[in-house]
Amino acid sequence: MLIRLESRGGPSRWWAYGSPVLALVLTLVATAIIFAALGKDPGRSLYTYFVAPLASATARPELLVKAAPLVLIAVGLSLGFRANVWNIGAEGQYTLGAIAGGGVALFLPESESSLLLPAMIIAGALGGMTWAAIPAFLRTRFNANEILTSLMLTYVAQQLLIYLVVGPWKDPEGYGFPQSRLFQDAATSPIIVPGTRIHLGVLAAFIAVALGWLVLKKSAIGFQFRVIGAAPRAARYAGFNETRLVWLLLLLSGALAGLAGLFEVAGPVGQLTPQISPGYGFTAIIVAFLGRLNPVGVLFAGLVLALSYLGGEAAQIELGMPNAVTGIFQGILLFFLLACDLLILYRPHLVRAKPIEAVP
């Protein structure tokens, strides 16, 4: 038995949305097999991982808290990926946003001004933007591949953060731990929904989704993003300025990643430490693809991946499962998604005999 592919002659709208669902189902099956291989009861593990966090009223708002940075970053990335601008270094831009925004609070320890948080938010966005401007400059001016440069800058950003929290910004009363002092009240995000940890970053994520959708669907520049990714040659003939688009997309995604970093340290974390991100910048890449590179889709995909973080934590505590399972789940999900996306363009057939031209 062989699988033969037949072109659908055009992308299937149905499968564009069916593929992520099928990929999720297959990922759950694969995860259950991994749980069984680890000697855990698959049913109970899956429940702890994916259902229990949703079943408890206290945990449900946490889903939004975890999804906020993922969605913020992924909205920017999804616009970029559409135009073949591969910003893989969002993790670094997130870190720089946290450093720049958090730095404002640390430099003004006495400030209780209501303008302090807005200043931090602006600094956070600028920090992420600055970090993304480097790959933008290197690609447009020197033709250097932004995948590698933005990724290398992630390692540089991490070292910079460590330097600051063990060096000049270290908390003198922190018992020698590598961390800054806790931000004062005026430098922390207010809680929007009482009794939860839902902070301004969650609101920002929803705004980013709405604006991202408007830009993509309703604006001329969004049209250019779509064309340049789908038909780069046509875009060139149409006279779209590629340099300008690369700059725009990298600055935009950098600013959003920087905001995500700032809201995280001004919100749930409350200070600068080397562990301000459980890999949000990388997971957001999966969120962007799972959300079909569409801001609205990103919102749902962000919630799914946020669940994998919450479930991972729960499974670690309740089942003694290593936290690495989260990374495996995320990787497998992206694998299955990429495989299922074949169904958007091709219709598979089972055939008995070997056809003249088998599977490509």
Partner 1 sequence: MTGDSGQFVAALLTIISASTPLLLAATGELVTERSGVLNLGLEGMMLIGAIVAFATAVGTGSSTLGILAGMLAGSAAALIFAVLTLQFLANQVATGLALTIFGTGLSALIGSGYVGRGIEPLPRLYLPVLSNLPVIGPILFGQDALIYASFILLAGCSFFLYRTHAGLALRSIGESHDAAHALGYHVVGVRYLATLFGGAMSGLSGAYMSLAYSPSWSEGMTGGRGWIALALVVFATWRPARLLLGAYLFGAIAILQLYIQAWGWPIPSQFLTMLPYLATIAVLVLISSDRARVRLMAPACLGKPFYAAG
CA distances from 301 to 76, 116, 226, 298 (A): 14, 33, 20, 5
347 interacts with partner 1 by CB under 8 A: no
Choice from 187, 286, 310, 315 touching partner 1 (CB under 8 A): 286
Q: Which two tokens stand for residue 68?
A: 């906020």
Residues 305-334, one symbol each (x = binds partner 1 by CB under 8 A, - = not), give: -----------------xxxxxxxxxxx-x
Smallest gap from Cβ 308 to partner 1, in A, equals: 11
* Region of 162-170, 210-218, 231-239, 243-251 interacting with partner 1 (CB under 8 A): 162-170
Choice from 16, 22, 148, 192 touching partner 1 (CB under 8 A): 148
* Region of 42-50, 135-143, 220-228, 232-240 interacting with partner 1 (CB under 8 A): 135-143
CB atoms under 10 Å from CB of 24, counted, come to 18
Smallest gap from Cβ 145 to partner 1, in A, equals: 7
* Region of 45-53, 156-164, 181-189, 263-271 interacting with partner 1 (CB under 8 A): 156-164
How much helix, strand and coil, in percent to the nearest 5, is found in the chain?
Answer: 70, 5, 25
143 interacts with partner 1 by CB under 8 A: yes
Helix (H) or strand (E) holding 286: helix 280-290
CA dihedral 6, 11, 15, 17 (to 10 degrees): 160
Choice from 54, 155, 217, 234 touching partner 1 (CB under 8 A): 155
Nearer to partner 1, 145 or 241 (CB): 145
Residues 43-82, one symbol each (x = binds partner 1 by CB under 8 A, - = not), give: ----------------------------------------
Count of residues of this chain found to bind partner 1 when the rule CB under 8 A is applied:
51
Distance, CA of 93 to CA of 261 (rounded, Å): 8
Choice from 24, 67, 71, 88 touching partner 1 (CB under 8 A): 88
CA distances from 106 to 97, 168, 178 (A): 14, 11, 15
230 interacts with partner 1 by CB under 8 A: no
219 interacts with partner 1 by CB under 8 A: no
CA distances from 290 to 78, 142, 177, 293, 300 (A): 10, 32, 38, 8, 9
Extended beta strands in the chain, E state = 2-7, 346-351
Residues 244-283, one symbol each (x = binds partner 1 by CB under 8 A, - = not), give: --------------------------------------xx
Whether the Cβ atoms of residue 87 and residue 252 lie closer than 8 Å to each other: no
b or e along 203-217 (b: 16 or more beta carbons within 10 Å of the residue's beta carbon)? ebbeebbeebbebbe
Distance, CA of 312 to CA of 295 (rounded, Å): 25
Smallest gap from Cβ 262 to partner 1, in A, equals: 22
Range 142-147, long-range pairs (CB < 8 A, 24+ positions): 146/85, 146/86, 146/87, 146/88, 146/246, 146/250, 147/86, 147/88
Choice from 163, 191, 207, 217 touching partner 1 (CB under 8 A): 163
Nearer to partner 1, 71 or 134 (CB): 134
Question: For binding to partner 1 (CB under 8 A), which residues are involved?
Answer: 5, 86, 88, 138, 141-145, 147-149, 151-153, 155-156, 159-160, 162-163, 166-167, 282-283, 285-286, 289, 322-332, 334-335, 338-339, 341-342, 345-346, 356-357, 359-360
